[in-house]
Amino acid sequence: MTWILFLEQALNGLQFGLMLFLLASGLTLVFGIMDMINLAHGALYMVGAFLAAWLAQLTQSFVMGVLLAIPLTALFGMAMESTLLRTLYARDHMSQVLATFSLILIINEAVRMIWGTDMPLAAPAALSGPVELLPGLYYPAYRLVIIAVGLVIAGLLYLAVTRTRVGAWVRAGASNREMAMAMGINIQRLFTLVFGLGAALCAVAGAMLGPLLAVQVGMGETVLILAFVVIVIGGIGSIWGAFVGSLLVGFVDTFGRTLMPALFREIFPPQVASAAGPAVASILVYLLMAVVLFLRPQGLFSRR
């Protein structure tokens, strides 16, 4: 592997990891504070992407489409929490899984009826070309914007959780919900706020990844699995754990898909390597999760 290819894959892993963080951070807060397994979190990612594509067409501006999709997705998430999900807090996890899985099907079909099975979403023309970062190293400008947006949001989220009063409430709720209620924190309002924040982060991820991936019905299911892997690795309820876990998953997945096929071609015959290399690369993330669970079952930075 040349140094240019290594840096390109490192940037790809960073970009992928930061977008995973936007999904996993909201999910880990919902899971850590509300003690609720929300399988419909990926559906919010899909709703954010479709809203961004629709609004971008209406306003003829990608930036306006994204900026408008974020609060609308947050409001949709808060309405979903206050009307439907609030009834599941006292239920067991199996009931939550079944109920939120049914929400996935309902939201998928609702999106299909409103917008169809897919929608186009293109990045701004000004960001369509590559940027020369180093001599011989060209990288797409839009992917650099995704990295910058991810880093800025990660920094703001960290400051909000660790340096503000609301962040203190969130950390208290993640550590001990009963004690937080005894101290006078309005848990219902906190739940709605956290869920809205998680939905807004989903919208950012969906809107930013829309030009790179297909904006289509069901796009949230695959990324939801990786988001759960991230919070298992990082630790439930920990923003820092979600950040570290997202970067680990991003780098392992990206470098695995690049290195494993090449490594297998050096060891095995071509017909074996062509099938075994990608297959092994696709399970590296889950092997990483298994190793972390074996060494530290509560996750790397668990808040519990």
Residues 241 and 301 sit within 8 Å (Cβ to Cβ):
yes
Decide which of 271 and 149 is more confident: 149
Q: Give the pLDDT confidence of 71-118 residue by residue, as tens digits.
A: 999 999 999 988 888 888 778 878 888 888 999 999 999 999 999 888
pLDDT at 29: 78
Type of residue at 100: T
Decide which of 247 and 264 is more confident: 247
For 279, phi then psi, to 5°, come to -65, -45
Is residue 163 pLDDT above 90, yes or no? no
Confidence of residue 228 (pLDDT cuts 50, 70, 90): confident
Q: Give the pLDDT confidence of 57-66 residue by residue, as tens digits.
A: 999 889 999 9
